[in-house]
Amino acid sequence: MPRSTGSTPRKFHVHFESNSSKPRQFQVLESDVKAAVRRHPELARRLKITVGFDRKMLTEALRTADFLLNSDPPRDNLRALAPRLEWIQTTGAGIDGLLPLDWLPEGVVLTNNSGAHAAKAQDSGAMGLLMLNARIPEVMTAQRAKHWAHAFSSPIAGKTAVVIGFGDVGAAVGRGARKLGVNVIAVTRSGALTRATAKAADSVVPVSKLARVIGKADFVVVATPLTAQTRGLVDGAMLDRMKDGAGLMNIGRAPVVDYDALCARLESGKLSGAILDVFSPEPLPDSSPLWTVPNLVVLPHITCDDPRYIDFLLDFWFENFARRLAGRKLKNIVEPLRGY
């Protein structure tokens, strides 16, 4: 980290803004910030930090803020509100709620929190694959009916998972799957072999060839961000190309998969089970028919979350701030045209 010489360097103003209606795990509290400052005392000396909730002091904070951390930044006329703003960090990994990014002023960089989810995603991917292999969705449906339903399955090693989307979450799923002896086919935008795909997948194909490989899957895991390109990617026709009796897990975004088409294929027995962790809207309303679809496990958006999430987020932010001070490129910059 560069040290100042001569006069005291100026302090940067960062504002951490949260929505108090979100779960505790997604709110940055004063106590979280104090703990992070204790972990990063040198960096904190270069900062003026303000913490706000529910936009009560947001307008005032933006007048002088260099940096903003927030899931839902104000999009109308942001440059006028925040003349010095140069960097917005989002709380989550997915920024589909902010698309299109035409509101982002020139000279403002947007970073997301991709990567914080990896350890949990690896656990959840392995869990989901093992549950699909053991036909747990069917067993849970039988438990609801108080019915003993033998559902035998062979060990998972040697079976095949197609993982759609191979960012931090998808690659973590790939690593967890390979530890189980599962053959992993990664589906990415380009199909290029990268460090992530080389380590966590047995092969990689571009999304344009998804229809050709999806039939190899015993399990399909959807771990892609929601963009114009991925919306509706796994529709009824794509599901029909899956192997009879295969299973599906969605830990990406709900609109990537046609849930009506999926439910029809669970009802018909074409697919043996599904585990869904993402819905639109969330929380899933009590009135949703999804709660009782046979062989469907409903998870309340938990597969990638961690109680230490805000600590990870703030540590990530401070490390990125150190890069900013050193004049290096920030990590996790969202590319506006790509949309993630």
Contact positions toward a copy of itself, by CB under 8 A? 23, 25, 119-120, 122-124, 126-127, 130-131, 133-136, 139-140, 142-144, 146-157, 179-180, 282-284, 286, 288, 291-292, 297-303, 305-308
Least Å distance, CB 40 to a copy of itself, is 22
Which residues lie closer than 8 Å to 131 by C-beta, 6 or more apart? 137, 273, 275, 297
Least Å distance, CB 192 to a copy of itself, is 29
Q: Give the end-to-end CA distance of the chain in Å, rounded to a whole number.
A: 29
Closer to a copy of itself by Cβ: residue 300 or 336: 300
Q: For 120-131, b where at least 16 C-beta lie within 10 A, e where not — what string?
A: bbbbbbbbbbbb
Least Å distance, CB 144 to a copy of itself, is 6
Active-site positions? 253, 282, 301
Least Å distance, CB 306 to a copy of itself, is 5
Closer to a copy of itself by Cβ: residue 108 or 172: 172
Closer to a copy of itself by Cβ: residue 269 or 283: 283
Question: How far apart, in whole angstroms, are the C-alpha atoms of residue 115 and residue 108?
Answer: 22
Question: How far apart, in whole angstroms, are the C-alpha atoms of residue 167 and residue 340?
Answer: 10
Q: Name the residue among 64, 55, 60 with its Cα closest to residue 14.
A: 64
Q: What is residue 102's DSSP assignment?
A: G
Closer to a copy of itself by Cβ: residue 27 or 188: 27
Looking at 6-57, list the stretches that DSSP marks H as alpha helix, in order from N- to C-terminal side: 30-39, 41-44
Question: How far apart, in whole angstroms, are the C-alpha atoms of residue 170 and residue 187?
Answer: 9
Question: How far apart, in whole angstroms, are the C-alpha atoms of residue 257 and residue 35?
Answer: 40
Half-sphere exposure of 276 (CA within 13 A, CB side): 25
What is the biggest distance separating any 2 CA atoms in the chain, rounded to whole angstroms? 77
Alpha carbon 173 to chain centroid distance? 12
Closer to a copy of itself by Cβ: residue 67 or 309: 309
